[in-house]
Amino acid sequence: MGSGGNQGEGASGLEAPMPTFRWEEIQKHNLRTDKWLVIDRKVYNITQWSRRHPGGQRVIGHYAGEDATDAFLAFHRNLDFVRKFMKPLLIGELAPEEPSQDRGKNSQITEDFRALRKTAEDMNLFKSNQLFFLLHLAHIIAMESIAWFTIFYFGNGWIPTIITAFVLATSQAQAGWLQHDYGHLSVYKKSMWNHIVHKFVIGHLKGASANWWNHRHFQHHAKPNIFHKDPDVNMLHVFVLGESQPIEACATLVPRPGIKPTPPALKGEVLTTGPQYGKKKLKYLPYNHQHEYFFLIGPPLLIPLYFQYQIIMTMIIRKDWVDLAWAISYYTRFFITYIPFYGVLGSILFLNFIRFLESHWFVWVTQMNHIVMEIDREPYRDWFSSQLAATCNVEQSFFNDWFSGHLNFQIEHHLFPTMPRHNLHKIAPLVRSLCAKHGIEYQEKPLLRALQDIIGSLRKSGQLWLDAYLHK
């Protein structure tokens, strides 16, 4: 319980001594209309302010009732600037006898990880090489130019068209990795410049929305592979993932007041369940064949159908006119370039074919690091352990780095999302050593094996569903 003082949001004159709270009290404030969180043992009421959070209210809301120190450090470049916005939200601090970590999270792992982060800072691993990103942008523009020249010089026959489509799909994929860098604030020291260039790359070069990407992707980083929190594992009943969802449920954990949960069973909590696919005999699709129909509706349709619809609707519904203007500039440039060769209908078909190709690239690369890992309800782990449970790496090579936008170092990227990608390989040995010290598995595999494991994971989850579905 709090030891007196103003507990409302935006308290401007906190009395001395500052109010103190126990974790039992803090964990009650994890509702949509009542959100507290802890950073560096300070307690903040973010209920109203979360609506103005630049990264979206959901990503910060996912840490309501928890310690968010490591997530706070991971996502923000200019900490002094951000802390200015936090001062009015301060309502107290943890009671002296309370541990810094909630729900029995491993304090030694947390301490060691923060020491590792300090080492990375001392090694200047958060400092970017501007030439690297400039050259990356240049090779994207070069591919766009080559594509146009191919059609201009060789005509719009089938062979030049197919070659051009593959070149443009490659350009789009690489632009996707580049916007990812700017979106994570990993290029420039000042966040403002990252945001400006991010809108240019994702908007003018790809026709998408920076705000849509931020609000979606940061949730994924905050709570990777956690049902109801990571939008990347919301499969809309098309696929079942992991080992628990196919059999039982995507469960939401609701703490009982006054009871401190204890991992891993999280005693004292009530499970409010989502779809129990197997036990409840839910069969939206034949999930035991999902590893087969994945080839038909996963890679081919994600970008040209689902993402495209979601991006456009999000910009319109949220009245995000700046992002919409950037996206329109992409479509205007594309159609001005290719309508003279293909006409209006032909250019529309050409654009969707490019996105069809790019979608395959995107899905295979992004899923090889995550879908094969643990996917479950909220386990309430420390930052380091939660990221290692949800991510794995692919072996380093020049091709793998380029092909995946350095997301073959997914573990390091998730631990340090603002670290420039060209430095991820430098911190990897230290991350591996920390994993060895605490007995945490550090998974790294060849590229082809990683791609094959996607299908194996879908097959396994589908079989678990079938066994539960048929069980009487």
d(CA 245, CA 376): 7
Residues 6+ apart with CB under 8 A from 179: 198, 201, 202, 205, 206, 208, 210, 213
Residues 6+ apart with CB under 8 A from 120: 126, 416, 419, 427, 430
Higher pLDDT: 263 or 179? It is 179
Asked whether residue 99 carries a pLDDT value surpassing 70, the answer given is yes
Average pLDDT score over residue span 234-254? 74
Q: Name the most confidently modeled range: 283-287, 374-378, 410-414.
A: 410-414
In 3D, which of 42, 65, 147 has the Cα closest to residue 357?
A: 147
Asked whether residue 268 carries a pLDDT value surpassing 50, the answer given is no
Helix, strand or coil, per DSSP, at residue 450: helix
3 — pLDDT class (breaks 50, 70, 90) = very low
Asked whether residue 210 carries a pLDDT value surpassing 60, the answer given is yes
Higher pLDDT: 247 or 101? It is 101
DSSP for 373-389?
S--BS-----HHHHHHH
55 — pLDDT class (breaks 50, 70, 90) = confident
DSSP state of 77: S
Asked whether residue 72 carries a pLDDT value surpassing 90, the answer given is yes
Predicted local confidence at residue 276, as pLDDT = 56
Asked whether residue 290 carries a pLDDT value surpassing 60, the answer given is yes
275 — pLDDT class (breaks 50, 70, 90) = low
Average pLDDT score over residue span 276-287? 71
16 — pLDDT class (breaks 50, 70, 90) = low
Cβ pair 357, 163 in contact under 8 A: no
d(CA 394, CA 230): 22
Predicted local confidence at residue 15, as pLDDT = 55
Asked whether residue 256 carries a pLDDT value surpassing 50, the answer given is no
453-470 tens-digit pLDDT = 999 999 999 999 998 888
DSSP state of 67: B
In 3D, which of 400, 325, 88 has the Cα closest to residue 409?
A: 400
Average pLDDT score over residue span 17-29? 94
Asked whether residue 321 carries a pLDDT value surpassing 70, the answer given is yes
d(CA 396, CA 411): 13
* Region of residue 205 (phi > 0: left; psi between -120 and 50: alpha; otherwise: beta): alpha
Predicted local confidence at residue 254, as pLDDT = 40
Predicted local confidence at residue 236, as pLDDT = 81
Percent of the chain at pLDDT above 90?
A: 81
d(CA 324, CA 329): 9
Average pLDDT score over residue span 55-74? 94
Which tokens in the block code for residue 236? 């809309």
Predicted local confidence at residue 470, as pLDDT = 85
425-453 tens-digit pLDDT = 999 999 999 999 999 999 999 999 999 99
Helices first, then strands: H and E counts in the chain: 17, 9
Predicted local confidence at residue 280, as pLDDT = 62
Asked whether residue 144 carries a pLDDT value surpassing 50, the answer given is yes
Predicted local confidence at residue 269, as pLDDT = 39
Asked whether residue 394 carries a pLDDT value surpassing 80, the answer given is yes
Size (the chain), residues: 472
Least confident among 173-187, 238-252, 320-334: 238-252
Q: Is the pTM of this model over 0.85?
A: yes
Percent of the chain at pLDDT above 70?
A: 89
d(CA 27, CA 225): 22
Predicted local confidence at residue 252, as pLDDT = 39
Percentage helix, strand, coil for the chain under 3-state DSSP, each rounded to 5: 55, 10, 35
259 — pLDDT class (breaks 50, 70, 90) = very low
Average pLDDT score over residue span 82-92? 92
330 — pLDDT class (breaks 50, 70, 90) = very high
253 — pLDDT class (breaks 50, 70, 90) = very low
Average pLDDT score over residue span 196-201? 97
d(CA 382, CA 237): 30
d(CA 206, CA 468): 43
d(CA 399, CA 309): 32
Determine if the peptide bond prior to 99 is cis (ω within 30°): no
Which amino acid does the sequence have at 381?
R
d(CA 233, CA 107): 28
The distance from CA 160 to its chain's CA centroid, rounded to whole angstroms, is: 37
Predicted local confidence at residue 260, as pLDDT = 37
